[in-house]
């Protein structure tokens, strides 16, 4: 009888040891906890609304907030994050080589990147598509009128591939003028080196706010590709990937259930809705399963906000970008943003 | 037994491990072995890590479709060609900009180097100012400045600067007619080759005659006449087998003809002006290295300053100039990789794009290093050969 008791106790200890998970959390997750901050790869040239840095070195933006949310989930501290500015061309090497823990840099989820590049995409924080911007004075109304145009485009992007496909599919010729960063491309575009600037529509809106006379430029109606932009980690980094994926989901789920940074305290204290209670860690053991503190999602919503709040704050109608929710509205309102169930 | 130890030992071959040659060999083999072992370790480690990350490896990607376009292609290329082809397109663009840059830098360098030694105060000071300013501003900044100047200084396509109906200059580049070779053009080429042979023979004959009799022969002007006259004659006889495709102004830009892109112009200007300043200093140093006695001897023979430079000083100075000149050519070629900053599709730029689209950093970097190494070795080999030829002039 005593023997049995010992065995049970030992098994219990082993099991709880396992559940605490520190030894089995995977190399990146362990390393992040060890060093005490998340190293997040972001856009280098300042994409207003998505990732910009002020002259004091403070980062802000839609992608930045996702980085911060991850830091909050792990450490409960929105400042436990360091940013590595990366160009489109540098970003994957930086992730593959371990220089950063997670990449949140308007990066399109494609098959090649998910497989051959050794990466794992964890979700979509912004559904986008590629568009064209031209000076109004050109008098162009549709992308199909662009035969013979010269087009400024950034290297190392899906953009340059879609561009080649689009012109070929429509039997039109064009001259590509390829730059490594937006900062090099924009002066050339404004000097008239090319007729058209093409990138993700979000990028077009963001870039246009940087122009002296934004109204002199129009964005053509055609959207020529699907650009699901989302956070990326190294392939096989499953535990760390779970943290990033569910951080994003927690923000979307919070919006769906009406949990905001303002009412989250009250809802945690008083809500009887089982989903909200599980999300905020009042019930269940989601934190433990993820290797995170019990109140991880509560902290995200409290410190960063839900998906809708973050969207409105950085990109919405009260910002210079004035981007409508569109595809990025919740599924319940006809958009595509949909969190897997918190169950 | 004791007596034996008193007898002087016969001169015995040293033990082989004491032989310095054997030792040296052994040491080298050891070092080589360690280096190889280290390399093998690194390669194995890399492969294992790539496999663990699930990153594809190997050179198979060279045959798959590239999917992106390149603005300047000296050979046929579009998005349907392979990554391997894209590499070659980039390589040719590097060759192109380096070759034109080296040519121009050499001219600028010689002119400025000699100008700095000029007895005319203004000329010497202008040359000195150019050299000092250009050498002390980072090349990257200069390239960007040239690009801004080129773009800012040129008009929009609709207001192109035009030379007649066939040459246009605007912010999209310099457009010139593209020659179309028709049947019979082979005769013109043949005539040109024949005239080259004739000129070489003529030059040899003239030199022999000069050395034997002291009678000069106007080789330069005769050669020029032969080089142009013979092909021109063939051209007329073959019925003018050449036409031009003229550039025409379209809705957005000029189509047809041949174009020199603004990115290319900025690269050539930036690289040659920068490297020219270094070459100028080398030329000046080379000329100053020739003793004053040579000048005095030349003047004593009644040669003018120009003749003294051309016939006496520069040929001797070249021997001092060429070795450092070589490294300037190498620098220029390698510096052309800065093209990425102003959108010039040189090899490094294209390689970066391929790296990003395939994610095969290790392979792409290996190819890039191999290419620049080969390029450097080729230029060195050529300059060494040229240097050896010049050195023979010594008597
Ligand atoms: N979503 C595309 C394009 C991403 C991208 O690099 N976009 C550009 C234009 S919005 C950008 O962020 N440029 C900023 C920079 O790198 O300078 C991809 O993942 O390849």
pLDDT in tens, B374-391: 988 998 898 888 888 877
| DSSP element (H, E) containing B96 | helix B83-116
Distance of residue B74 Cα from the nearest chain A Cα, in angstroms: 14
Q: Using 50, 70 and 90 to split pLDDT, how confident is the model at B231?
A: confident
A201 C-beta closer than 6 A to ligand 1: no
| Residue among A84, A152, A157, A183 whose CB has most ligand 1 atoms within 8 A, to mutate | A157
Instruction: Give the pLDDT score at A44.
Output: 87
Beta carbon of A52 within 6 Å of any ligand 1 atom: no
Q: How confident is the model at residue A332 (pLDDT cuts 50, 70, 90)?
A: very high
B95-142 pLDDT, tens digit each: 999 999 999 999 999 999 999 998 899 999 999 999 999 999 999 999
pLDDT value of position B9: 59
Among candidate residues A247, A293, A342, the one with its CA nearest the CA of residue A21: A293
- A20 falls in which pLDDT band (50, 70, 90)? very low
Q: Which CATH number fits domain A130-225: 3.10.150.10, 3.30.2390.10, 3.40.50.300, 3.40.190.10?
A: 3.40.190.10
Q: Report chain A's terminal Cα–Cα distance, integer Å.
A: 38
Whether B263 and A177 lie within 8 Å, measured CB to CB: yes
- Asked whether this chain's domains A22-127+229-333 and A130-225 adopt the same fold, the reply is yes
Q: Is A159 in the pocket of ligand 1 (CB under 6 A)?
A: yes
- In chain A, residues with a C-beta closer than 8 Å to the C-beta of B53 are 96, 118, 234-236
Domain layout of chain A by residue ranges: 22-127+229-333, 130-225
pTM score: 0.81
Contact B357 A156 (CB under 8 A): yes
Q: Given the structure tokens 């953009």, which residue do they identify? A: A159
Q: Which of A296, A15, A44 is nearest to A182 (CA)?
A: A44
Q: Which residues of A touch B70 (CB under 8 A)?
A: 176, 178
Beta bridge partners of B255: B248
List pLDDT tens digits, range A112-140.
999 888 899 999 999 999 999 999 998 99
Q: How confident is the model at residue B342 (pLDDT cuts 50, 70, 90)?
A: very high
Among B344, B364, B171, smallest CA distance to B263 is for: B344
Q: Which residues contact A104 (CB under 8 A, 6 or more apart)?
A: A40, A41, A42, A63, A64, A66, A67, A125, A231, A232
Q: Please, what sign has the CA dihedral across residues A14, A17, A21, A26? A: negative
How many other C-beta atoms can be found within 10 angstroms of the C-beta atom of residue A8? 10
pLDDT at B7: 60
Q: Which two tokens stand for residue B364?
A: 């792409």
Residues 6+ apart with CB under 8 A from A213: none
The residue of chain A nearest to residue B259, with distances taken between CA atoms, is A175
Q: Which comes out higher in pLDDT, residue A1 or A156?
A: A156
Give how far Cα B100 sits from Cα of B172, B179, B272, Å.
20, 20, 8
Q: Identify the residue whose tokens are 């008597």.
A: B395
Contacts of A113 in chain B (CB under 8 A): 359
DSSP helix, strand, coil percent of chain B (3-state; round to 5): 70, 5, 20
Determine the average pLDDT of the residues in A7-29: 48
On chain A, the residues whose CB falls within 8 A of the CB of B56 are 115-116, 118
User: Mind telling me how many Å the CA of B318 is from chain A's nearest CA?
Assistant: 41
**What is the tens place of the pLDDT at every residue in B274-333?**
999 999 999 999 999 998 999 999 999 999 888 888 888 888 888 889 889 988 999 999
Helix axes A201-208, A182-190, angle to 10 degrees: 70
Q: Which fold has domain A22-127+229-333?
A: D-Maltodextrin-Binding Protein; domain 2 (3.40.190)
């Amino acid at each position: 009888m005593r023997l049995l008791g010992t065995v049970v106790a030992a098994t219990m200890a082993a099991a709880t040891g396992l559940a605490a998970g520190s030894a089995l959390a995977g190399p990146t997750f362990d390393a992040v906890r060890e060093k005490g901050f998340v190293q997040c790869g972001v856009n280098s040239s300042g994409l207003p609304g998505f990732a910009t840095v002020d002259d004091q070195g403070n980062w802000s933006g839609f992608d930045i907030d996702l980085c911060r949310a991850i830091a909050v989930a792990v450490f409960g501290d929105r400042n436990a994050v360091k940013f590595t500015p990366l160009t489109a061309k540098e970003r994957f090497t930086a992730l593959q080589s371990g220089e950063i823990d997670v990449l949140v840099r308007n990066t399109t989820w494609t098959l090649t990147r998910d497989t051959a590049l050794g990466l794992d995409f964890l979700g979509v924080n912004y559904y986008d598509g590629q568009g064209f911007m031209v000076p109004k004075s050109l008098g162009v109304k549709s992308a199909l009128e662009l035969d013979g145009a010269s087009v400024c485009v950034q290297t190392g992007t899906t953009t340059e591939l879609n561009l080649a496909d689009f012109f070929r599919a429509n039997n039109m010729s064009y001259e590509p003028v390829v730059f490594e960063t937006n900062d090099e491309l924009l002066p050339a575009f404004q000097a008239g080196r090319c007729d058209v600037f093409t990138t993700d529509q979000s990028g077009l809106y963001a870039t246009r706010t940087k122009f002296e006379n934004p109204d002199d430029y129009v964005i053509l109606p055609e959207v020529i590709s699907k650009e699901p932009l989302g956070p990326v980690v190294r392939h096989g980094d499953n535990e760390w990937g779970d943290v990033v994926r569910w951080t994003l989901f927690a923000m979307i789920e919070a919006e769906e259930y009406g949990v905001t940074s303002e009412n989250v305290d009250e809802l945690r204290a008083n809500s009887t809705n089982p989903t909200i209670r599980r999300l905020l860690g009042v019930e269940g053991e989601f934190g433990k399963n993820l290797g995170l503190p019990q109140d991880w999602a509560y902290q995200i919503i409290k410190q960063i906000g839900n998906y809708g709040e973050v969207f409105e704050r950085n990109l919405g109608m009260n910002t210079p970008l004035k981007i409508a929710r569109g595809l990025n509205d919740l599924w319940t309102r006809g958009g595509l943003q949909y969190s897997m169930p918190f169950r | 037994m004791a007596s034996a130890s008193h007898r002087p030992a016969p001169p015995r071959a040293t033990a082989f491990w004491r032989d310095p040659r054997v030792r040296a060999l052994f040491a080298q083999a050891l070092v080589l072995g360690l280096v190889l072992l280290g390399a093998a370790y690194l390669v194995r480690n890399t492969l294992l890590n790539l496999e663990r990350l699930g990153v594809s490896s190997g050179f198979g990607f060279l045959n798959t479709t590239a999917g992106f376009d390149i603005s300047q292609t000296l050979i046929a290329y579009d998005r349907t060609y392979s990554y391997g082809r894209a590499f070659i397109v980039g390589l040719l663009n590097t060759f192109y900009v380096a070759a034109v840059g080296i040519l121009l830098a050499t001219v600028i360098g010689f002119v400025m180097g000699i100008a700095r030694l000029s007895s005319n105060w203004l000329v010497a000071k202008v040359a000195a100012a150019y050299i000092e300013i250009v050498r002390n501003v980072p090349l990257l900044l200069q390239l960007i400045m040239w690009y801004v100047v080129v773009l800012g200084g040129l008009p929009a396509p609709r207001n192109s600067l035009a030379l007649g109906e066939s040459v246009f200059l605007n912010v999209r580049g310099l457009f010139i007619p593209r020659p179309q070779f028709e049947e019979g053009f082979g005769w013109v080429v043949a005539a040109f080759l024949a005239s080259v042979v004739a000129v070489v023979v003529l030059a040899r004959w003239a030199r022999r005659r000069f050395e034997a009799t002291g009678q000069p022969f106007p080789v330069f002007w005769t050669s020029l006449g032969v080089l142009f006259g013979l092909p021109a004659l063939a051209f007329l006889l073959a019925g003018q087998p050449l036409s031009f495709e003229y550039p025409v102004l379209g809705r957005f830009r000029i189509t047809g003809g041949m174009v020199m892109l603004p990115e290319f112009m900025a690269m050539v200007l930036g690289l040659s002006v920068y490297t020219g300043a270094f070459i100028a200093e080398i030329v000046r140093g080379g000329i100053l290295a020739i003793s004053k006695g040579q000048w005095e001897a030349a003047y004593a023979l009644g040669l003018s300053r120009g003749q003294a430079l051309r016939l006496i000083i520069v040929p001797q100075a070249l021997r001092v100039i060429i070795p450092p000149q070589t490294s300037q050519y190498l620098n220029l070629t390698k510096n052309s990789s800065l093209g990425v900053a102003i959108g010039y599709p040189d090899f490094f730029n294209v390689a970066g794009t391929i790296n990003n689209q395939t994610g095969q950093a290790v392979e792409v970097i290996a190819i890039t290093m191999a290419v620049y190494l080969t390029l450097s070795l080729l230029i060195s080999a050529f300059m060494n050969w040229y240097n050896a030829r010049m050195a023979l002039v010594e008597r």
